[in-house]
């Protein structure tokens, strides 16, 4: 492994700005790493070698001209294949979008380019972001760099695996029910779901529009904050975008001081189904926060136990409407168009061939939940539960600054173990879903290895909407204290690929 791929994003940008290394050398080192390991990992669906090197050359030219470089200039990034990229394929992990090349950039893509971030390519994901293991990708599963026979989480398993395999120091994910945080947890990396509406959804292919949120992923809390700063902020092209200043997440990440903060442990996120080693590392983290000077209290959020069923009505309902656009006429795949069939028949044949089993399951579920006669009983009830969950959060945040829990109940499970059991798969998001339903902000960061299997455990931190800076303040302090204790960052323990 060359040293360059082990640098943090902050170190990389600093080295480029000081002229110690060129952006082209940095990009090349990561492309070489991808060539060396990605056949095994399968984190990338598309690698844009030429584009990455051209972007890196532009950064080097900018520096040579004496222009000031931004805080992430020249830093390589792995982009989840659910954001549109002008001239670069975008598949959402689905056969139905095979070969589709978008004519425009998502706002997030544009902001990355404006920040001189070097986009290496697009990462693997569960089809249309539906899943918790990346096994629902039409392009094969991604392996967890800690153990390639295990899942890297999902839906953004490709982005998280790219970080853990040192193929990129930065990545982008989307989180509808946990797809940034759960992959972060099981790969020993950091991931943040920002406040809903604070990162533009323009050009993010919609799964469940009222829940979907793009966000930053990295190997350190500070790098995650730098990326958060680059992508967040108001966008007139997204009608749900919040028009308010983004909290100073970078300053918060550097604070590393939780003295006087009040931290609530969510009582409901424990018990049956939670792996012993996950609970052990979680409880140690809570103890650590106490030692660092925070006040820890127990908090009860009784409606959280209803979050999963509510989510699995709301998300499929919205998906059934959003995915109607894949009609064989506008994008990607078209099957059976031999001149003898009607448009309806071609649409049906294309969807039959182009959508995978989980996507079909959700479209059927959502269509049913929204059908007249059932709408009130299913979708209507789920929306009421959503309100109860928001009220539980409001009550909790009246007494504490942040809430904490394990990110996901178990460490990475073996590929195949839950593939045919949707209910078991859905349980991976037990602790993450409430924040999507309420629209607040949440982070997962590594808090050690579970003793029984030596696999990473994630600590989840949840903050009120538009208080994303609190995640970074708490996360930065925990990370610094743990690295001190271990004498190195967790990923340095990752078995070499």
Active-site option among 80, 95, 122, 193: 80
Contacts of 253 (CB under 8 A, 6+ apart): 221, 222, 224, 225, 472, 473, 475, 476
Q: How far is the CB of 431 from ligand GLN (least distance, A)?
A: 12
Gap between the Cα atoms of 231 and 248, Å rounded: 13
- Quick check: 48 binds ligand GLN (CB under 6 A)? no
Residue selected from 147, 175, 392, 479 as contacting ligand GLN according to rule CB under 6 A: 175
Q: What is the DSSP letter of 195?
A: P
- Quick check: 315 binds ligand GLN (CB under 6 A)? yes
How many residues bind to ligand GLN according to rule CB under 6 A? 14
Q: Is 80 a catalytic residue?
A: yes
- Quick check: 131 binds ligand GLN (CB under 6 A)? yes
List binders of ligand GLN among 466-485 (CB under 6 A).
Answer: none
Residue selected from 155, 320, 407, 410 as contacting ligand GLN according to rule CB under 6 A: 155
- Quick check: 178 binds ligand GLN (CB under 6 A)? yes
Active-site option among 155, 241, 303, 320: 155
Q: How far is the CB of 472 from ligand GLN (least distance, A)?
A: 21
Q: Which string of DSSP letters, residue by residue, matches 211-253?
A: T--EEEEESSHHHHHHHHHHHBS--TTSTT---SPPP-HHHHH
Pick 116 or 135: Cβ nearer ligand GLN: 135
Q: Is 317 a catalytic residue?
A: no
Pick 106 or 315: Cβ nearer ligand GLN: 315
Residue selected from 31, 75, 96, 130 as contacting ligand GLN according to rule CB under 6 A: 130
Answer whether 71's CB lies under 8 Å from 216's CB.
no
Pick 154 or 456: Cβ nearer ligand GLN: 154
Contacts of 360 (CB under 8 A, 6+ apart): none
Answer whether 331's CB lies under 8 Å from 96's CB.
yes
Q: Is 381 a catalytic residue?
A: no
**Pairing mode of beta strands 118-123, 295-299:** unpaired
Answer whether 143's CB lies under 8 Å from 161's CB.
yes
Contacts of 174 (CB under 8 A, 6+ apart): 80, 82, 83, 129, 155, 156, 180, 204, 207, 212, 213, 214, 215
- Quick check: 96 binds ligand GLN (CB under 6 A)? no
Residues of this chain that bind ligand GLN (CB under 6 A): 129-132, 155, 174-179, 207, 315, 429
Question: Which residue numbers are catalytic?
Answer: 80, 155, 179
């Amino acid at each position: 492994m060359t040293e360059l791929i082990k640098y943090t994003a902050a170190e990389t940008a600093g080295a480029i700005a000081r002229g110690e290394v060129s952006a082209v050398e940095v990009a090349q080192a990561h492309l070489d790493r991808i060539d060396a390991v990605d056949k095994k990992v399968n984190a990338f669906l598309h690698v844009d070698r030429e584009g990455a090197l051209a972007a890196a050359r532009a950064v080097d030219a900018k520096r040579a001209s004496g222009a000031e470089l931004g805080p992430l200039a020249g830093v390589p990034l792995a982009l989840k294949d659910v954001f549109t990229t002008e001239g670069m394929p975008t598949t959402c992990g689905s056969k139905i979008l095979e070969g589709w090349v978008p004519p425009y950039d998502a706002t997030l893509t544009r902001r990355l380019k404006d920040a001189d971030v070097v986009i290496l390519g697009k990462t693997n994901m569960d089809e249309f972001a539906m899943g918790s293991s990346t096994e629902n990708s039409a392009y094969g599963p991604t392996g967890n760099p800690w153990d390639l026979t295990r899942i890297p989480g999902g839906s953004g398993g490709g982005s998280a695996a790219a970080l853990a395999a040192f193929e990129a120091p930065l990545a982008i994910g989307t989180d509808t029910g946990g797809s940034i945080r759960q992959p972060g947890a099981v790969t020993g990396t950091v991931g943040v779901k920002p406040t809903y509406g604070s990162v533009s959804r323009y050009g993010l292919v919609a799964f469940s529009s009222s829940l979907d949120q793009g966000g930053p992923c990295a190997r350190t809390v500070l790098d995650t904050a730098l990326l958060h700063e680059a992508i967040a902020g108001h966008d007139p092209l997204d009608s749900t975008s919040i028009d308010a200043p983004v909290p100073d997440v970078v300053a918060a990440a550097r604070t590393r001081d939780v003295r006087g903060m009040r931290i609530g442990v969510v009582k409901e996120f424990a018990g049956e189904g939670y792996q012993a080693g996950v609970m052990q590392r979680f409880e140690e983290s809570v103890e650590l926060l106490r030692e660092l000077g925070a006040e820890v209290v127990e908090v009860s959020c009784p409606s959280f136990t209803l979050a999963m069923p509510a989510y699995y009505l709301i998300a499929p309902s919205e998906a059934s409407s959003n995915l109607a656009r894949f009609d064989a006429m506008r994008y990607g795949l078209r099957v059976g168009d031999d001149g003898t069939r009607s448009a309806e028949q071609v649409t049906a044949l294309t969807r039959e061939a182009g959508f995978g089993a989980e996507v079909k399951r959700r479209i059927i579920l959502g269509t049913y939940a929204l059908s007249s006669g059932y709408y009130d009983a299913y979708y209507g009830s789920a929306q009421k539960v959503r309100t109860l969950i928001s009220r539980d959060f409001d009550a909790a945040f009246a007494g504490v600054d942040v809430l904490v829990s394990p990110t996901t109940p178990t460490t990475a499970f073996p590929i195949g173990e839950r593939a045919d059991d949707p209910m078991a798969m859905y349980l991976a998001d037990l602790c993450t879903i409430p924040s999507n339903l309420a629209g607040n902000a949440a982070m997962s960061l590594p808090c050690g290895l579970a003793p029984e299997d030596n696999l990473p455990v994630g600590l989840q931190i949840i903050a009120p909407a538009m208080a994303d800076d609190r995640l970074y303040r708490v996360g930065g302090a925990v990370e610094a204290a743990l690295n001190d204790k271990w004498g190195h960052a967790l990923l340095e323990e990752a078995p070499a690929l």
